[in-house]
Structure 1
Amino acid sequence: MMDSLIRSKRRVADSAPEDSELDNELAGDSENQTAYDETLDRKQACNRCRRRKIRCNRAITCSNCARSRSDCSYPAIGHHREKRQRIHMSAKHEQKIDRIFEVLDELRVKVDNLSQEAHPRLSGGHNEEATSSNVEPENQPSLLSHAVFASQFLRALFGESNGPRELVRKMELSLGALHGVIDSQRQQKTTLHNVYPYARTMPQGTSLGGLRMPPVEISLECLQKAKECQRVQFFWLSEFVSLSQFTEYLVKVYSPGPSSNTERIIVLGGIFWLFCECALDTADAQTRERFWNQAALSREALETDLYHLPFHTPINFDSVLAMSIAASYCFRTGKISAAWNFTTNAAHLCQALGFHRPHVLSADSPDLKQRKAKLLWTIFTLERNLSLQLGRPSTFHVDDIALPQLSVAPNTTADFPFNITLTKHIHVAALQGRAYNEIYSLGALSQPIEIRTRRAEKLASELRNILEHEDEIETRYSEARRHALGSTLHELFQCAARINELSLLTLLYRGIPPDKSSDIAFCNECVDTARAALEEHQRSISIITSSHVKGHPLEMYINWSFLLFPFFPFIVLFCHIAQTFDQSDLHLLKSVVETLESIPESAFYQTHSKQIRLFRALYDVAQTYIELKTSEVEPQIASWDFNQMLTTIGVPFLPQASDSLLHSTHIGTADAMPIPTIDGAASHYVNQGFDDVPGSSGTFTAEIDETALELGNWFQGNHEMLRLLDDSYLRQ
């Protein structure tokens, strides 16, 4: 069959005349001279000959088509593009164009610098880059559009005045920096690779059990050092598991045979912090470097296990402990949303196993009963902290927990006192859940203002009583901490605890409205408590500078002081300054910024770079605003509305349902310059207030008063700012 096809094709080809014969035939015929001339110009065969793949003489009607009496057509011949004349520009125009390109390049570099977050890779980590979306999400304003709008807004206010143009330019830069921090985080699309940047890529067919782990000899060396050093015990995970219990998990994982995901997470999370603490407590440089290298190896294996953790985990004690250690790891490294996910998972497992019911624990041994009770209260404390911080309802109901509130008796373990959950912490955690339910939840905001005010006053009174009393266990804990850390670090962590307590008290007082005769947005108790929190922070700064505190203790102080309640006192004073122009309060804000900026970057603690940029930008805006308002300017500058200025650039924590929260004490009316129209880019955030809850605009907002809307906006805005700093918040 194939031979016959080849022979038939050859016959067709042989029957076709040669090109030279056809050319001579056409050339000899005067009537076909025109066709011959056009044939010479053609470079392609006709469509039919091209399909049959035979030779074509390229005539108007080629010989093959003429013999078969078929239509002969050719591909369209394209016209040559005419050369365009170059437009000659003057040197002046070329310089302007070059300058435009330079400005665009500078803007691109600034945007890249704002949107990039450094994740230094430790040795042995995978090289897969964390993916982030550079495509601007729909309906979200870009940095450029907001920067242009803010610039136009300021020029409209000051363009025709004789005011201090240097201050106007400074305010433009401050607003641009503030919005740059906010917008760069909103544009970043977080994936699991961002949450766990050190996780290794697992080749197909390999198991997590084959991950490389630190040598068992070095792990046991660190474990022995921890048993001998109370300082290491304090900074370790003693609140979740004792060193003796952890040793059992370590031996099991390192022994031949299979190990579960939860067992590996317990061991890897434990030895990671052990290596970190032992490295910081070691004077020998070579030994310290060896511990840091093993900590890096442990971190890579831990994040790989967390990255590949299945959705469904076994319902047993090991799963509860593993979720708790994972939550602690994420919290210490600034991944607040991931910490919340692990904590709620641990809370659900606790309740599924009946840790909160004495009759369920009655069949356990006394030691196991104590371990379960201690773990339950530790998870309860962490979960309530994160619940209020993130503005979410708690998964625990206090009425369902029937256990005593002191989980471990003083002398039942050799690791006392660092492995207990203090009664004060449990009481404060319970009060945090009530603060959300009774003041800041949607149901509480729909209550009359009188009821909400009485609740806030009662909670504040209860918190003060809790903080003023100290039981015997807490006294022994405090003395043991002083002995383990020394007086300097002991006082520093006392300041951190006091800052957290005052921050919570500030949040409670925020639920109390100011007097009707007052022009200030917050009640006096709220402002005084926020000021006291930052003054306590100022005292801690003097301890840090006078004693040259550095390294891990300083980083832990920042973690405890700013990650639990990072914004409430700072934002209260920030808003208060906009109304009172108080220089002393501005100085307190400055002390917070300088403390954050004094911390050197660490390969293991990368949680503060975003906080530094945000706090610095807020302080610069407040400082410049005070300079503008207190300078000798024209009336339209004196009437500038701080609330309007910030909401136009997308700052989320200012209430947007009403004009009364941050109105200036010198706002003008008839003499004020009209505010420029806010385009779609800028108005996206102006109209995105608490009153725009999906599905509730027609019902929910009609049931609450203006004060509740302002309170809800302020509370929601604080959590929005926190999410901007959270690397583990999975943005769509």
Structure 2
Amino acid sequence: MDSRATACDLCRLRKARSEEKIDLLDKRLANIESLLLKQQQSAASTQCSCSGLTPEKAPLEVPLSVKDTPHVATDYDAGDEAPPVEGPSSLRFQMAATRRLTESAAIELGTSCYVNVVASAHRVVGSQSPAGSSQRHLAQKPVTYRNMPLPPIAAVVGVLRQLKDNPPSSFFVLRCFLPCSDFIDLCRNVYFSVDDYTAIDFIIVNSGLHSLFTEYFCPPSVGQSEPRKQSLAWGAMCRDALTAAVATIDASLSAKAKNVQALILGTTHAIEMAKPWLAWRLICFAAQLCMAAGFHDESLIVADDESTRNVKALLFWHVYGLEKSIALRVGRASMIRDSDIDIPKGLNLVCLPRLWDKVVPFWVENASIHSKIYDLLYSRSAQLVSQEDLSERADSLLADLKLIEPVNLVNSRISPANSTEPTTKLDNVLAISAKVMYYTTGTLICRARTSRASVPSFSPDCLAYARSTIDAHLECVPLMSGDLHIVNLYLHWRLLQTPFIPLLVVFCHIVETQDSSDTQRLKCFADSLEHGADLSPSAKDFYDITRQLYMIAEKHIQTSSEQDWASVPSLSTLGLTQFYPANAMAGNYHLAAEHGQSNQDMEMMFGGEQVMGFF
């Protein structure tokens, strides 16, 4: 009896253990199925043309047009339900005004062909907005930068050897005053990493490699089409990896020089990607770190050695110039107050490459005037002063601007007879492009003089500054000789960092007066942008807008010869504050709504990103 009971107990025990094993296997199979399902969903949502490729299997061809370039989605790509509201000094604000006035003029004129051209131009704008079908603005699931494909190690070593043997003079300045040797060491740490590397190192490395592959050491298009395509493909990989890494920037970054450098590089990348609001948030973060570390305070850096002091000063003034220019572009007050700064603005004692020692100080002084332009002419408080006071403020700012006129820069184009170094293409472009920046600032100031006049019009000096800006630009174009690095530098550091008002001033003057010389000027300006249109999304958008404005102006001149234009409202009413007069701000809610709608339609130029998590 006992033996039978023992045998039954053993059977039950074995059965129970078998059932437990079966249950465990079922759970494991369920987990495996769940993981496979998640992996399939992740692959479907993040798939792009470069996904799944190892560095050794990099694509041999890359589309040369920005619109066909694969986009890496990140957290800040998700579009807001309501776009950010930009201030009166922003270019988007003025483009919205240009649109409303042009449409009104076309409808008033009543000629179907002209109305169709205007409508077609605005469809081009609308089709590239985040609400449309533009792939690079669609919200997708974020991609981790550590999983991004990178160029093969052999290619990276090749461009680093070229950098070491022939370092470009601009690399030190544009890489935030990072010596080439230090940059090569950072690349070694990322590509041959034994220990883990940080997102900051990754940003600095891929920003630099993107420039090396696509600008500095990109093979010429003539006779080397395949190597050129391959180099551009590797540059695109670095750009996409950089985009993904910028999205991971942490709000708890310490106030160190390297972190400031990465934020500056992220800012310039955001400008190139047509994301000015992201650029503004990043540069504001960089400014906070600079102030927290005391880069602006002489007493806090006096104990450092000379080299460290120079780097901190250069980084601070770099942030200063970017922050004030971008703040003006998005219509916001600068967060850096000049009253808090006690390090000298004179950078002549800091060792910079030739001509950069003149360009950087001019850039800083010009940025200082940008801050005053917003505070004194375009801020909300400035809308409360009388037109007479506003004109006096503009006159005072013009006097300040004339004190920094870049005469020395232009004269430096001619090398002294005893100089052993002849001027280069970059030297010439830097010198003339300073004039472009100078005249753009003058146009912004002069526009405020008559923004609320009883009979709105552009003052003669406003139109003169606008024409001089475009003429200086056209003087620059042949000096570039198609050099990708110089074209990229000029477009993103001279034309796209600040609101380029001269374009709109000349356009509105053409529509009002049918001036043939200005029409030709606008055509030449649009044609000159075509060569650099494929360098970045922002360059492509700027070219498209300029081309559409020229088409509208040309069609208007053709139509106005057959119609009476006297009944059409003056298009010179376009202004930075025209649609938000101080005495009518509270009551004109319908105008604010129109402005918001126009913002959505003009997203192709200015991008509407969601505020990053840490802000």
Same fold (TM over 0.5): yes
TM normalised by structure 1 equals: 0.61
TM-aligned CA deviation for residue 134 of structure 1: 14
What corresponds to 1:368 in structure 2? 308
- Work out whether 1:176 is the aligned partner of 2:128: no
Cα distance change on mapping 1:258 and 1:440 into 2, 3 Å:
same
Which digits, 9 at most, give the CA deviation of each residue in 1:250-291, with x for residues without a partner? 343333102222122122222221222343267994765554
CA distance in 2, matches of 1:276, 1:247: 18
Cα distance change on mapping 1:553 and 1:396 into 2, 3 Å:
same
- The amino acid that maps onto 1:450 is E
- The amino acid that maps onto 1:512 is R
TM-aligned CA deviation for residue 423 of structure 1: 1.9
Cα distance change on mapping 1:628 and 1:279 into 2, 3 Å:
same
**Contact 2:105–2:569 (CA under 8 A) maintained in structure 1:** no
**Contact 2:129–2:137 (CA under 8 A) maintained in structure 1:** no
CA distance in 1, matches of 2:318, 2:440: 21
TM-aligned CA deviation for residue 525 of structure 1: 0.8
What corresponds to 1:494 in structure 2? 431
What secondary structure is seen at the aligned counterpart in 2 of 1:174?
helix
- Superposition pairs of residues 93-172 of structure 1, within 5 angstroms: 119-121=67-69, 158=110, 168-172=111-115
What corresponds to 2:330 in structure 1? 390
CA distance in 2, matches of 1:508, 1:152: 27
- The amino acid that maps onto 1:628 is T
Of residues 420, 434, 442 in structure 1, which corresponds to 2:372?
434
Cα distance change on mapping 1:269 and 1:425 into 2, 3 Å:
same
What corresponds to 1:639 in structure 2? 566
- Work out whether 1:549 is the aligned partner of 2:482: yes
- Work out whether 1:697 is the aligned partner of 2:577: no
- Work out whether 1:562 is the aligned partner of 2:451: no
What corresponds to 1:316 in structure 2? 256
What corresponds to 1:536 in structure 2? 472
- The amino acid that maps onto 1:617 is Q
**Contact 1:356–1:373 (CA under 8 A) maintained in structure 2:** yes
Cα distance change on mapping 1:461 and 1:190 into 2, 3 Å:
farther
**Contact 1:357–1:403 (CA under 8 A) maintained in structure 2:** yes
CA distance in 1, matches of 2:76, 2:379: 36
CA distance in 1, matches of 2:332, 2:113: 38
CA distance in 2, matches of 1:360, 1:308: 30
TM-aligned CA deviation for residue 239 of structure 1: 4.0
**Contact 1:241–1:419 (CA under 8 A) maintained in structure 2:** no
- The amino acid that maps onto 2:470 is L
Cα distance change on mapping 1:187 and 1:325 into 2, 3 Å:
closer
What corresponds to 1:606 in structure 2? 537
**Contact 1:265–1:326 (CA under 8 A) maintained in structure 2:** yes
**Contact 1:435–1:459 (CA under 8 A) maintained in structure 2:** yes
CA distance in 2, matches of 1:326, 1:152: 40
What corresponds to 2:402 in structure 1? 464
What secondary structure is seen at the aligned counterpart in 1 of 2:304?
coil
TM-aligned CA deviation for residue 721 of structure 1: 8.7
**Contact 2:355–2:427 (CA under 8 A) maintained in structure 1:** no
Cα distance change on mapping 1:420 and 1:298 into 2, 3 Å:
farther
Which digits, 9 at most, give the CA deviation of each residue in 1:667-689, with x for residues without a partner? xxxxxxxxxxxxxxxxxxxxxx4
Looking at CA atoms only, which structure, 1 or 2, has the larger radius of gyration? 1
Which digits, 9 at most, give the CA deviation of each residue in 1:461-504, with x for residues without a partner? 111121155389x959999xx99996555434433332221111
- Work out whether 1:626 is the aligned partner of 2:563: no
TM-aligned CA deviation for residue 619 of structure 1: 2.2
CA distance in 2, matches of 1:395, 1:616: 35
- The amino acid that maps onto 1:171 is Y
TM-aligned CA deviation for residue 226 of structure 1: 2.3
What corresponds to 1:225 in structure 2? 162
- Superposition pairs of residues 409-424 of structure 1, within 5 angstroms: 409-411=349-351, 422-424=360-362
What secondary structure is seen at the aligned counterpart in 2 of 1:422?
helix
What secondary structure is seen at the aligned counterpart in 2 of 1:343?
helix
- Superposition pairs of residues 69-80 of structure 1, within 5 angstroms: none
Of residues 250, 271, 283 in structure 1, which corresponds to 2:187?
250
Structure 1: which 5+ residue stretches go unaligned?
Answer: 1-116, 138-146, 159-167, 203-207, 647-652, 659-688, 702-709
Greater relative CO (CA pairs within 8 A, separation 6+): 2
- Work out whether 1:572 is the aligned partner of 2:505: yes
Cα distance change on mapping 1:398 and 1:236 into 2, 3 Å:
closer
Identical aligned residues as a percent: 21
Cα distance change on mapping 1:195 and 1:506 into 2, 3 Å:
farther
- The amino acid that maps onto 1:120 is D
What secondary structure is seen at the aligned counterpart in 2 of 1:386?
helix
**Contact 1:200–1:301 (CA under 8 A) maintained in structure 2:** no
What corresponds to 1:654 in structure 2? 574
- Work out whether 1:587 is the aligned partner of 2:520: yes
What corresponds to 2:24 in structure 1? none
TM-aligned CA deviation for residue 396 of structure 1: 0.5
CA distance in 2, matches of 1:227, 1:693: 61
- The amino acid that maps onto 2:546 is F
- The amino acid that maps onto 1:427 is E
Cα distance change on mapping 1:156 and 1:566 into 2, 3 Å:
closer
Which digits, 9 at most, give the CA deviation of each residue in 1:286-315, with x for residues without a partner? 765554343233223222212333344333
- The amino acid that maps onto 2:113 is K
Cα distance change on mapping 1:439 and 1:596 into 2, 3 Å:
same
CA distance in 1, matches of 2:142, 2:545: 31
- Work out whether 1:449 is the aligned partner of 2:384: no
TM-aligned CA deviation for residue 460 of structure 1: 0.8
TM-aligned CA deviation for residue 227 of structure 1: 3.8
Of residues 429, 447, 450 in structure 2, which corresponds to 1:513?
450
What secondary structure is seen at the aligned counterpart in 2 of 1:608?
helix
What corresponds to 2:463 in structure 1? 527
- The amino acid that maps onto 1:727 is G
What secondary structure is seen at the aligned counterpart in 2 of 1:690?
coil
- Work out whether 1:307 is the aligned partner of 2:247: yes
Cα distance change on mapping 1:693 and 1:554 into 2, 3 Å:
farther
Cα distance change on mapping 1:718 and 1:366 into 2, 3 Å:
farther
TM-aligned CA deviation for residue 342 of structure 1: 1.2
What secondary structure is seen at the aligned counterpart in 2 of 1:470?
helix
- Work out whether 1:335 is the aligned partner of 2:275: yes
CA distance in 2, matches of 1:267, 1:350: 21
Q: Over the residues paired in the alignment, what is the CA RMSD in angstroms?
A: 4.8
Which digits, 9 at most, give the CA deviation of each residue in 1:89-112, with x for residues without a partner? xxxxxxxxxxxxxxxxxxxxxxxx
CA distance in 2, matches of 1:321, 1:559: 18
- The amino acid that maps onto 2:517 is S
CA distance in 1, matches of 2:389, 2:219: 52
TM-aligned CA deviation for residue 425 of structure 1: 1.7
TM normalised by structure 2 equals: 0.71
Cα distance change on mapping 1:513 and 1:718 into 2, 3 Å:
farther
CA distance in 2, matches of 1:135, 1:363: 50
Of residues 132, 143, 151 in structure 2, which corresponds to 1:201?
143
- The amino acid that maps onto 1:606 is P
**Contact 1:387–1:394 (CA under 8 A) maintained in structure 2:** yes
**Contact 2:75–2:247 (CA under 8 A) maintained in structure 1:** no
- The amino acid that maps onto 1:174 is V
Cα distance change on mapping 1:378 and 1:192 into 2, 3 Å:
farther
What corresponds to 2:546 in structure 1? 615
What corresponds to 2:9 in structure 1? none
Which digits, 9 at most, give the CA deviation of each residue in 1:10-39, with x for residues without a partner? xxxxxxxxxxxxxxxxxxxxxxxxxxxxxx
- Superposition pairs of residues 3-152 of structure 1, within 5 angstroms: 119-121=67-69
CA distance in 1, matches of 2:171, 2:239: 20
**Contact 2:450–2:458 (CA under 8 A) maintained in structure 1:** yes
What secondary structure is seen at the aligned counterpart in 1 of 2:250?
coil
CA distance in 2, matches of 1:439, 1:721: 27
TM-aligned CA deviation for residue 727 of structure 1: 3.2
**Contact 1:239–1:420 (CA under 8 A) maintained in structure 2:** no
